[in-house]
Homo-oligomer: A and B are copies of this chain.
Amino acid sequence: MNDRVYNFSAGPSMLADEVIVKLRDDMLSYEGTGMSVMEMSHRSKVYLAIFEDCKARLKRLLGIGEDYEVLFMHGGATGQFSAVPLNLMKTGKADYIITGNFSKKAAEEAAKFGNVSIAYDSSENNHSRIPSSDELKLSADADYVHLCSNNTIFGTEWKTFPDTGSIPLVADMSSDILSRPVNVSDFGLIYAGAQKNMGIAGMAVVIIRKDLAVKDSSRMPVLYNYAVEIKNDSMYNTPSSYSIYVLDEVLKWIESIGGLEEMEKRNRAKAALLYDYLDSQNYYLPHAQKDSRSLMNVTFTTPDKDTDSEFAARAAERGLVNLKGHRLVGGIRASIYNAMPIEGVRKLVDFMDEFAGEKR
């Protein structure tokens, strides 16, 4: 394991060493089957056991009730930008809360299929904050309200979710699912791309309250139809079978360390290290406002762009890689998802302090 780096990539992103070693060890022959999981028929007994284990573990970890279904769908979160309005716009209108790049994209995609009302938009402050409940302009008759729980690019995260009453709340949790416990019953639908806290890019996990799945599929691509996916237990076509296995290994790892309560504790400790340092100095400028700070993506800038680049390059020489910020916000972004150990964050803070000391 000696040459593994601390990978601060926003996604796809690092996996826990325990998981990646298991993937390696299983590659030639999974549990004596003589084949890799990616070579297995998705209808085989061995594979179905992995599939069921993954679903059961996810339900257990997130406390998902019987009135919800877990689906493994193709296309990452972006596929859900289309599937959500196609399935959930029963009367043709929805409220979207824009707090970053992906919630904006979700709203634009939904507008193809119905009437989208923007309940809030933080563009003006370059998405540096999450609104309070009373800032939201919610419609009385929306089919659903959509938000993105963590804004990967800008480094903001919802601490408490708005109460939308009987109107289903839909959340894109791509970049903070499994980072903390969440009350699933507060949501009509939760979706997340797998490539941050759940493994491999290309798949989305969807947690849907069953009554929200429509049956009419007249003009909807079959793979976007929640009712079809529910009926076929995510196997209308061959699912992303290897990605589901990787997710199962990730879930085993989370359970082994103590579940989502422990995961949140660790994530809070990691984030606190970084934010406490940022608040203790005046060389780096944090992007997100204090009460909106993400536990997953910590964004800040050095005094200028060239120094941002120098920072990222010199950090990489120390094995602290992929720290460059997204082009939309610039600067530095440290993505410290579940799999990032606290040692990586400590090394980053040490480097930040040393770098600032040189520059000051």
Interface residues of A (CB under 8 A from B): 1, 3-5, 7, 9-15, 20-21, 23-24, 27-29, 32-36, 38-42, 44, 74-79, 81-83, 86, 109, 112-113, 193, 195, 199-203, 217-224, 236-243, 246, 319, 321-322
- Chain B residues with CB under 8 Å of A20's CB are 27-28, 36, 39
- Chain B residues with CB under 8 Å of A36's CB are 15, 20, 23
Most buried by B among A20, A223, A319, A321: A223
How many angstroms between the C-alpha atoms of A108 and B239 in the bound complex?
A: 20
CB <8 Å contact, B15 and A38: yes
CB <8 Å contact, A217 and B112: yes
Having A75-B223, A82-B223, one finds 14 other A-B pairs with CB under 8 Å, namely A4-B28, A7-B39, A10-B41, A12-B39, A27-B27, A74-B202, A76-B237, A78-B223, A79-B221, A112-B220, A200-B240, A200-B241, A202-B238, A202-B240
- Give chain B nearest CB distance to A265 CB in angstroms: 24
How many angstroms between the C-alpha atoms of A77 and B238 in the bound complex?
A: 9
CB <8 Å contact, A202 and B112: no
- 13 A-B pairs whose Cβ atoms sit less than 8 Å apart in the complex: A1-B28, A3-B28, A3-B32, A12-B40, A34-B319, A74-B79, A75-B79, A78-B237, A82-B223, A195-B238, A200-B240, A200-B242, A221-B224
CB <8 Å contact, A3 and B24: no
How many angstroms between the C-alpha atoms of A37 and B27 in the bound complex?
A: 15
- Chain B residues with CB under 8 Å of A34's CB are 3-5, 7, 319, 321
User: Which of B14, B41, B193 contacts A11 (CB under 8 A)?
Assistant: B41
Residue of B nearest to A17 (CB): B28
How many angstroms between the C-alpha atoms of A201 and B40 in the bound complex?
A: 10
CB <8 Å contact, A238 and B193: yes
- Chain B residues with CB under 8 Å of A220's CB are 112
CB <8 Å contact, A78 and B222: yes
How many angstroms between the C-alpha atoms of A40 and B23 in the bound complex?
A: 16
- Chain B residues with CB under 8 Å of A221's CB are 79, 82-83, 86, 109, 221, 224
